[in-house]
Amino acid sequence: MRRRHNISLRHRRFQWKRTVQAFESVPVAVYIMKKKKRFISVFTMATAEEKNTSGRKKLPKNGAPRSGRNRLPWALLLFVLAAAAVAAVWLGVWGLEALLFSRNDRFRLRNIEVQSGGYWKDREPQLSERLGIRPGMNLFSPELDPGKLRLRLTRIPSVESGEVIRVLPDTLRIRVVERIPRVVLYNPRSGWVIDENLAVIPQMESMSVSMPLPVICDFKPKEKLVAGALWQDPVTGPKEPELACAVELVMTVVRNYPDIAVRAVSLGNPKTLKFVMRYRDRKNCIVLLPLPVKEDPRRKVEEFRSSLESLLDALQSAVIRAERTGNTRSTFDLTSRDRVTLR
């Protein structure tokens, strides 16, 4: 009986301990236990915060203070897991791309096609060497990226624009739009030509034209003559305004005056543009045109362009009149306003 009484007493103490633990965080708790049809007592418990007279803050229900220090390890863990997931995805994509494309032997370069109507036509080995292309390279390697190849292509002085296309599985197609030379600098054998945008081109790499090019004489450039130099700035205008006026004269004659052929242009006088022309392949003439006196190169070229067609119309009328009247003088001076003087 005594042993049985001790077990029952232990059991009651254990139940009492569990009850106290269950109601530690409750400000006021009333516990009524019914056992063997009898009510044990009614008791009231105060929380640890109410018994604490030291003035400390209340603890949360779990009994542990919440602070940023406890959250920091979890944040670092989440960051590490996210970074690892991103790295795993990136490595997987990179490995798949390498397996299917950049390390696939089926995409080895074997053929190079060059489409051009000028100098680079049927010159695949020379153009490949300029672009750094070698047979056997993978079409999807960084060296054969179409954007990078297009940039290298446009750096060639005689190329105005280009396009690079992959033709699977083993072909690279290059389309080249070449600059058209319009004038020759200094003399026909100088080795330098200029296009309508004032780009300097080596004559050996320029496309051939059917007609002889006009020669620019007495030209003294402000900068050193370098292949690929562009003497036309989109913001400030032409760096050589007199040369720009000479090219503008040549291009206007080519477009609108088929009876006139410009042979040579002299830039010796900054106020006068002197050129030699041939009218209807019958008569050689020397023509003097006024050049605007402007400090701004852009305004100088624009003013010359605006008055050029009226000057050429007057020149053409004066040449026709001289032929009809039998006048053999061959110098036409248009520097005086609204008047053509024959010498």
Q: What's the pLDDT score for residue 225?
A: 85
- If you average pLDDT over each of 2-6, 49-53, 250-254, which comes out highest? 250-254
- Confidence (pLDDT) at 22: 54
The pTM for the full model equals: 0.69
Can you list the positions of beta strands (E) in the chain? 29-31, 34-35, 38-39, 43-45, 111-115, 159-167, 171-178, 183-185, 192-194, 200-202, 215-217, 232-233, 237-238, 260-266, 272-279, 283-290, 331-333, 341-342
Place of tokens 């044990």: 40
Quickly tell me which residue has 């690892």 as its tokens.
Answer: 84
Whether residue 252 contacts residue 236, with contact meaning beta carbons closer than 8 Å, is answered with no
Q: What percent of the chain has pLDDT over 90?
A: 50
Read off the tokens for 108: 């080895």
Q: What is the rounded (10 degree) CA torsion for 271, 272, 273, 276?
A: -160
**CA–centroid distance for 33 within its chain:** 83
Q: Which tops the pLDDT comparison, 73 or 51?
A: 73
Give the per-residue pLDDT at 100: 54
* Confidence at residue 147, expressed as pLDDT on a 0 to 100 scale: 93
Q: What is the pLDDT of residue 5?
A: 46
CA–CA gap between residue 307 and residue 303 (Å, rounded): 7
pLDDT beyond 80 at 28: no
Amino acid sitting at position 230: L
Looking at per-residue confidence, does 87 or 144 come out higher?
144
Per-residue pLDDT band for 31 (boundaries 50, 70, 90) equals very low
* Residue 135 pLDDT exceeds 60: yes
Tens of pLDDT, residue by residue over 169-219, are: 899 999 999 999 999 999 888 889 999 999 999 999 998 887 889 999 999
Confidence of residue 81 (pLDDT cuts 50, 70, 90): confident
267 pLDDT band, cuts 50/70/90, is: very high
> What pLDDT was estimated at residue 224?
84
> In 10 A of CB 95, how many CB atoms?
11
Q: Which residue has the higher pLDDT, 335 or 34?
A: 335
Cβ atoms of 20 and 5 closer than 8 Å: no
Q: How far is CA 282 from CA 75, 261, 312, in A?
A: 91, 11, 18
Q: How confident is the model at residue 27 (pLDDT cuts 50, 70, 90)?
A: very low
Mean pLDDT, the chain, integer: 81
pLDDT value, residue 98: 54
Q: What angle do CA 12, 26, 28 make, to 5 degrees?
A: 85
Shortest CA distance to 171 belongs to which of 139, 203, 134? 139
Instruction: Please compute the mean of the pLDDT values over residues 157-178 and round it to a whole number.
Output: 94
Phi/psi of residue 168, nearest 5 degrees: -70, 145
What pLDDT score was predicted for residue 19? 59
The mean per-residue pLDDT over the stretch 52-68 comes to: 51
Which residues make Cβ contacts (< 8 Å) with residue 321, sequence separation at least 6? Answer: 327
Residue 286 has pLDDT above 70, yes or no: yes
